[in-house]
Chains A and B, each alone.
Chain A
Amino acid sequence: MSRRPLKHSETRAGWLFSLPWIIGFLALFVWPLVASIWWSLCRFDMISPPRWVGLNNYVRLANDVTQQQGFGQALTNTMYYSLLSVPLSVVIGILLAVLLSARLRGQAIYRTLVFLPSVIPVVAASILWLWLLNPESGMINYLLSWIGIPPQNWLNQARSAFSLETVEVLQNYTAGNPLKLFGSKDALILMTLWGVGNFVVIYLAAISDIPQSLYEAAEMDGASPCRKLLHVTLPMLSPVIFFNLVMGLIRSVQTFTSIYVLSEGTGAPGGSLNLISLELFLSAFSSLEMGYASAMALLLFIGLMLATILLFRTSRYWVHYRMVA
Chain B
Amino acid sequence: MSRFRNWISGFVLTCLIALMAVGWLSRETDLPLENRQEVLFWHFWGGRDRAVVNDVVKRFNESQDRFFVRAVAMPGNNLQAKLFLSVTGGDPPDLVNQDDPVLADWATRGVIQPIASVATTTQIHQLDQWMFESARRLSKVNQDYYGICNGLDIRALYYNKTLLDQHGLEPPKTIEELDRIATVLTPDSAAAAEGHYGYLPDSRRLWAWGYVFGGRFYNPQTGQVELDSNPIQQAIRWMASYSQRYGPDNLAAFRQGDQSLPGKSFPLLPAQSDSMVGRYGMIMDGQWRTRDLLDFGRKRKQLGLPSPEFGVCPLPPPPAGRSRAGWVNGNFFVIPTGAECPQGAWEFIQFWIGLNDPELAAKTCAAGGWIPVSQRVVETAEFQQFLIQNPLFAEFVDLASSPNQFPIPAVPGAAMFKRTVESAAYEAMSQPDRPVGPILQQANQRIQQQLQRARAE
| 20 further contact pairs, Cβ within 8 A, besides A159-B430, A270-B423, A270-B430 | A46-B81, A47-B84, A47-B88, A70-B446, A134-B257, A135-B252, A136-B256, A153-B252, A153-B256, A155-B256, A156-B252, A157-B430, A178-B249, A266-B419, A266-B422, A268-B426, A285-B81, A286-B415, A288-B80, A288-B84
B363 vs chain A, min Cβ distance (A): 34
Give chain A interface residues in 141-166, CB to chain B under 8 Å: 151, 153-159
Chain B CB count within 10 A is highest, among A138, A267, A271, for: A271
Select A268's contact among B81, B87, B254, B423, beta carbons within 8 Å: B423
Would you call A185 an interface residue if the criterion is a C-beta within 8 Å of the partner chain's C-beta atoms?
A: no
Q: Mark A276-305, 1 if CB is under 8 A from B, else 0.
A: 000000100111100000000000000000
> Which residues from 99 to 147 on chain A have a C-beta closer than 8 Å to any C-beta of chain B?
130-131, 134-138
- The docked-state distance in angstroms from the alpha carbon of A178 to that of B252 is 14
Stretch of B104-112, B179-187, B393-401 contacting A (4+ beta carbons < 8 Å)? B104-112
B34 at the interface (CB under 8 A from A): no
Q: Is the CB of B416 within 8 A of A47?
A: no
A48 interface residue per 8 A CB criterion: yes
Q: Knowing A69-B446, A286-B415 are in contact, say whether A47-B87 is a contact too (CB < 8 A).
A: yes
Contact yes or no, B256 A134, CB < 8 A: yes
Q: Which residues of B contact A46 (CB under 8 A)?
A: 81, 84-85, 88
Q: CB-nearest residue of chain B relative to A179?
A: B249
Residues of A within 8 A of B80 (CB): 285-286, 288
Per-residue contact bits, chain A 252-267, to B (CB 8 Å; 1 contact, 0 not): 0000000000000011
Docked complex Cα distance between A285 and B457 (Å): 17
The answer to whether B81 and A270 touch across the interface, beta carbons within 8 angstroms, is no
- Total A-B residue contacts, Cβ distance less than 8 Å: 91
**CA distance in complex: A269, B78 (Å):** 22
* Chain B residues closer than 8 Å to A47, beta-carbon distance: 84, 87-88, 109-111
Given contacts A46-B85, A157-B252, contact A137 B260 (CB under 8 A): yes
Q: How large is the interface on A (under 10, 10 to 19, 20 to 34, 35 or more residues)?
A: 35 or more
Cβ-defined contact, A45 with B457, below 8 A? yes
Closest residue of chain A to B249, judged by CB?
A180
B427 at the binding interface (Cβ < 8 Å): yes
Beta-carbon nearest neighbor of A157 in chain B: B252
**How far apart sit A153 and B243, CA to CA, in the bound complex (Å)?**
15
Closest to B108 in A: A45
Chain B at the A interface: SS class: helix
CB-CB under 8 A from B422, the residues of chain A are 266, 268
How long is the Cα–Cα vector from A195 to B422 in the complex, in angstroms? 32
Asked if B253 and A151 make an inter-chain contact with CB atoms under 8 angstroms apart, the answer reads yes
Check if A135 sits within 8 Å of B81, measured CB to CB. Answer: no
Whole-angstrom distance between the alpha carbons of A151 and B195 in the complex?
Answer: 15
Q: Is the CB of B249 within 8 A of A138?
A: no
Q: Contact between B426 and A285 (Cβ–Cβ < 8 Å)?
A: no
Interface size class of B (residues with CB under 8 A): 20 to 34
Q: Does chain A have a CB within 8 A of B59?
A: no
Across the interface, name the chain B residue whose C-beta is closest to A180.
B249
Q: Which of A70, A134, A151 contacts B260 (CB 8 A)?
A: A134
Q: Is the CB of A153 within 8 A of B78?
A: no
Separation in Å of the B420 CB from the closest CB of chain A? 9
Q: Are A269 and B430 interface neighbours, CB within 8 A?
A: yes
Determine whether the beta carbon of B260 is less than 8 Å from that of A48: no
How distant is the Cα of A201 from the Cα of B396 in the complex, in angstroms?
57
Cross-chain contact B430 with A135 (CB below 8 angstroms): no
On chain B, the residues within 8 Å of A158 by CB distance are: 426-427, 430
Q: Which of B246-300 contact A (CB under 8 A)?
A: 249, 252-257, 259-260
Any chain A CB within 8 A of the CB of B210?
A: no
Residues of A with C-beta under 8 A to B87: 47
Instruction: Give the residue name and chain of the B residue nearest to A56 (CB).
Output: B453
Q: A156-B255, A287-B413 are in contact. Are A45 and B260 (CB under 8 A)?
A: no
1/0 per residue B100-132: CB within 8 Å of A? Answer: 000001000111000000000000000000000
A48-76 CB mask vs B (1 if < 8 Å, else 0) is 10000000000000000000011000000
- Please tell me if the beta carbons of B109 and A45 are within 8 angstroms of each other in the complex: yes
Is there an interface contact between A135 and B257, defined as CB atoms closer than 8 Å? yes
Tell me the residues in window 199-238 of chain A with beta carbons closer than 8 Å to chain B beta carbons. none
Chain A residues in 8 Å Cβ range of B111 = 47
Q: Which chain B residues (400-457) contact chain A, with CB distance < 8 Å?
A: 413, 415-416, 419, 422-423, 426-427, 430, 442, 446, 450, 457
Q: Is the interface of A mostly helix, strand, loop or mixed?
A: loop
Q: Cβ of B110: which chain A residues have Cβ within 8 Å of it?
A: 47-48
Residues of the B chain whose Cβ atoms lie less than 8 Å from the Cβ of A48:
109-110
Bound complex: CA A286 to CA B257 (Å) = 29
A-B contact pairs, 6 of them (CB 8 A): A47-B84, A47-B111, A157-B249, A157-B430, A268-B422, A285-B80
Closest to B457 in A: A43
**Which residue from A130, A156, A268 sits with its C-beta under 8 Å from B253?**
A156
Known: A48-B110, A285-B78. A154 touches B256 (CB 8 A): yes
Q: Which residue of A lies closest to B255 (CB)?
A: A156
Tell me, in angstroms, the Cα distance from A157 to B260 when the chains sit together. Answer: 16
Tell me the smallest distance from the CB of A224 to a CB of chain B, in Å. 45
Question: What mask results when residues 177 to 199 of chain B are scored 1 for a CB within 8 Å of chain A, else 0?
Answer: 00000000000000000010000
Which residues of the other chain, B, contact A286 by a CB distance below 8 angstroms?
A: 80, 415-416
Chain A residues within an 8 Å CB radius of B78 = 285
Most chain A beta carbons < 10 A, residue from B85, B427, B457: B457
Residue of B nearest to A151 (CB): B253
Complex CA–CA separation, A180 to B250 (angstroms): 10
Chain A nearest CB from B140 CB (Å) reads 21
Q: Give the one of A137, A158, A267, A286 with max B CB within 10 A.
A: A286
CB distance from B241 to the nearest CB of A (A): 19
Contacts of B259 in A (CB 8 A): 130, 134
Q: Are A136 and B257 in contact (CB under 8 A)?
A: yes
CB-nearest residue of chain B relative to A133?
B256
A271-B419 Cα distance, complex, nearest whole Å: 9
Task: Provide the bound-state CA to CA distance between A268 and B413, in Å.
Answer: 18
Question: Are A153 and B260 within 8 A (Cβ)?
Answer: no
Report the separation of the CA atoms of residues A285 and B416 in the bound assembly, to the nearest whole angstrom. Answer: 11
Closest residue to B423 on the A side, CB-wise? A271
Complex Cα gap A180–B431 (Å): 13
From A45, A135, A266, A285, contact of B256 by CB (8 A): A135
List of B residues within 8 angstroms of A43 by Cβ: 457
- Enumerate chain A residues within 8 angstroms of B195, measured Cβ to Cβ: 136
Which chain A residues border B419 with CB–CB below 8 Å? Answer: 266-267, 282
Whether B416 and A153, one on each chain, are in contact in the complex, defined by CB atoms closer than 8 angstroms, is no
Residues of A within 8 A of B430 (CB): 157-159, 269-270
How far is A285 from B100 in the complex, measured between Cα atoms in Å? Answer: 13
Closest 3 CB pairs of A and B: A135-B253, A136-B257, A156-B252
B190 CB to nearest chain A CB (Å) = 12
Task: Let me know if B256 and A156 touch, CB within 8 A.
Answer: yes
Query: Which residues of chain A are within 8 angstroms of B423 by Cβ–Cβ distance?
Result: 267-268, 270-271
Instruction: Give the nearest-CB partner of A73 in chain B.
Output: B423
